Amino acid sequence: MAMTMIRRPTTLFSIKPKLLFPITPPFKNKTILLFSSPFLAAAFFCSLPKTSPFSPFLFPKSRPFLAEQRKSFSTAAAAMSKASSEQIAKDYKMPELRNPRHIVRKVVAKQMKEGDGATVRRSIGGSELRNFDPFLLLDDFAVSHPAGFPDHPHRGFETVTYMLEGYFTHEDFTGHKGTIRAGDIQWMTAGRGIVHSELPAREGVQKGLQLWVNLSSKNKMVEPQWQEIQSKDIVRVSKDGIDVRIIAGEAFGVSSPVYTRTPTMYLHFVMNPGAELRQRIPEDWNSFAYIMDGEGVFVDEASAPISKYHCLVLSKGDGLRVWNKSGRQLHFVLLSGEPLNEPVVQYGPFVMNTQREIQQAFEDYRRGKNGFENANEWSARAERLG
């Protein structure tokens, strides 16, 4: 949510499971389709858009039927996916960790003003922890009308907004507009440039988390993209008194379909009193936990419990152990990412690798070019309440 008040992406795409065997490269002007089963073949043809090169091979009168089958298939696939996830989690055994991570640093998220009258609690991205490769910022926000985050630009990284309470309306300079509600995720790749606004869409306090994930030098100038995932579509499983929403990555043997350019794991755990968690983490990834509510014992069962608003920076290792020894639920997110090991030069909403690239970003924004072509003429039309 951090904004340098420069007042002056973007393709919206849905998350869909990929076919086991995608379309293969052309060989001698022929394209070969490989399917692992007739079910996948049916799924493919029922999902064809009208503009598909394969559409002419379908009988025109079959289109209404296929449209209905597409809806039926989507519903059935979702049900099968949920049932499969539940079975996988049921059969999953908590791993024995050979090299459990320990806490190397504790940072209390500090309250500060951001945007236009908004309040955030910042852990990563603050004075105590400027960044933690590949993570640039974590804001725990609570915003009430008329505060918000009006028109502002980004370049060179991704923002991930996770709504916990309320509604936020977002709009960008390509005409994309939408509202995310409690439990929804918006994963925005700013890439070469985007200008957007984020404003409350109802009375009361809107709460959530916003994470900034850095992009590698090769991806900093990609075209902007959006992934918007409704709460009902986020993979969620429960086991042994623990409920986890798998926003990205894997937990209890179940994986999220969300695509991340920078390899990332994003898990939201809710642990009931008496529950114990052992969660695997890729050994070379950087990882931290942020406690949103309640208190928990992290890493060492004999250690003192740690309460809300603490960000726990973890050492390298193969996983994390957590116990809830309190009388109420523990809510926390576990974030892990593959380090980029590249220079980070940041000025407000622009994050690049060199000072020269930062200067170029400001120049492009000012002149309305190289990704900011619509920046000078655009202003969000979204009302603060809707």
CB 225 within 8 A of CB 191: yes
48 pLDDT above the threshold of 70? no
Above pLDDT 70, what percent of the chain?
77
Q: Provide the pLDDT for residue 176.
A: 83
Residue 253's CB: how many other CB atoms inside 10 A?
Answer: 17
User: Cα dist. 126→120, 135, 136, 159 in Å?
Assistant: 11, 12, 10, 16
Q: What is the dihedral of CA 123, 124, 129, 132, to 10 degrees?
A: 150
pLDDT for the residue 380: 72
Averaged pLDDT of the chain: 83
Residue 218 is predicted with a pLDDT of 97
At 381, is the pLDDT very low, low, confident or very high (cuts 50, 70, 90)? Answer: low
Judged by DSSP in three states, 15 sits in coil
State how far the Cα of 75 lies from the Cα of 205, in Å rounded to an integer. 34
6-10, 134-138, 246-250, 291-295: range with lowest mean pLDDT: 6-10
C-alpha span between 157 and 358 (Å, rounded): 13
Q: How far is it, in rounded angstroms, from Cα 242 to Cα 277?
A: 8
Q: Tell me the pLDDT band of 84, cut-offs 50, 70 and 90.
A: confident
Torsion of CA 123, 125, 126, 129, to 10 degrees: 80
Residue 27's pLDDT is: 35
pLDDT of 165 higher than 70: yes
Band of residue 100 on the pLDDT scale cut at 50, 70, 90: very high
pLDDT of residue 86: 83
Q: What is the pLDDT of residue 22?
A: 36
The span from the CA of 334 to the CA of 337, in Å, is 10
Exposure string for 134-149, b = 16+ CB within 10 A, e = fewer: bbbbbbbbbbbbebbb
Complete edge-to-edge strand list for the sheet that includes strand 177-181 = 149-154, 194-200, 167-172, 177-181
Tokens of 110: 């500090």
pLDDT digits (tens, 9 = 90+) for 107-136: 999 999 999 999 999 999 999 999 999 999
Domain boundaries, the chain: 103-337
CA–CA separation, 87 vs 89, rounded Å? 5
How much is the pLDDT for 53?
Answer: 47
Per-residue pLDDT at 59 exceeds 70: no
Strands 11-13, 225-229: pairing is parallel
Cα(296)–Cα(293) distance, integer angstroms = 9
pLDDT tens for 139-152 read 999 999 899 999 99
Q: Which two tokens stand for residue 326?
A: 């309190």
Alpha carbons within 13 A on the beta-carbon side of 328:
8
Residue 292 parent element (H or E): strand 286-293
From the CB of residue 308, how many other CB atoms can be counted at a distance below 10 Å? 18
Please say if the pLDDT value at position 11 is more than 60.
no
Q: Helices 63-91 and 38-46 sit at what angle, rounded to 10 degrees?
A: 130
User: Quick one: pLDDT at residue 69?
Assistant: 41
From the options 3.30.70.940, 1.10.3720.10, 1.20.120.1200, 2.60.120.10, give the CATH code of 103-337. Answer: 2.60.120.10
pLDDT at residue 66 above 70? no
For residue 215, what pLDDT band results from cuts at 50, 70 and 90? Answer: very high
Backbone angles phi, psi at 78, to 5 degrees: -65, -45
Confidence band of 91 (pLDDT split at 50, 70, 90): confident
Structure tokens belonging to residue 273: 């009193």
292-319 mean pLDDT: 97
Average pLDDT over residues 78-84: 62
